Structure 1
Amino acid sequence: MSVATTHLTSPAPWAAEPPRLARQLGYAGLIPFGLGAVLAWLVYPEAQPLVLRAVAAYGVCIVAFLGGLHWGLAMRAGHNEPAHFVWAVVPPLVASVAALMPENAGLVLIGVMLLVCYAVDRKLLAEQGLGAWLTLRFRLSALGSFCCFLAAASA
Structure 2
Amino acid sequence: MTAARRPSPTAWALGLSGLIPFVAGAAGMLWPAALPWPVPGGAAAALGAYGAVIVSFLGGIHWGLAMAGAGGPSTLRLAWGVVPSLIAWPALLLPPAWGLAVLAAALVLCFMVDRRSYPALGLAGWLPLRGLLTAVAALSCMAGAALA
The verdict on a shared fold, with TM-score over 0.5 as the criterion, is: yes
Shift, 1:14, TM fit:
2.7
Partner of 2:12: 23
Amino acid in the other structure paired with 2:53: C
Partner Cα distance (1:18, 1:135) in 2:
9
Shift, 1:99, TM fit:
1.2
Partner of 2:87: 94
Amino acid in the other structure paired with 1:27: L
Partner of 1:60: 52
Tell me the secondary structure at the aligned position of residue 92 of structure 2: helix
**Aligned sequence identity (%):** 39
More helix by share: 1
1:101-153 deviation line (CA, Å, top 9, x unaligned): 11121100000100000000011111111100000000000110000000111
Shift, 1:91, TM fit:
0.2
Partner of 1:42: 31
Unaligned ranges ≥5, structure 1: 1-10
Partner Cα distance (2:109, 2:141) in 1:
14
Equivalent residue runs for 1:1-155 within 5 Å: 11-12=1-2, 14-15=4-5, 17-44=6-33, 49-77=41-69, 79-155=72-148
Tell me the secondary structure at the aligned position of residue 101 of structure 1: coil
Aligned residues: 142
1:63–1:13 Cα change, 3 Å: closer
Partner Cα distance (1:144, 1:12) in 2:
28
CA RMSD for the aligned pairs?
1.5
Unaligned ranges ≥5, structure 2: none
Partner Cα distance (1:119, 1:86) in 2:
16
Using structure 2 for the length normalisation, give the TM-score.
0.90
- List, as ranges, runs of 4+ consecutive aligned residues in structure 1 with deviation greater than 6 Å: none
Shift, 1:82, TM fit:
1.5
Tell me the secondary structure at the aligned position of residue 138 of structure 1: helix
Amino acid in the other structure paired with 1:28: S
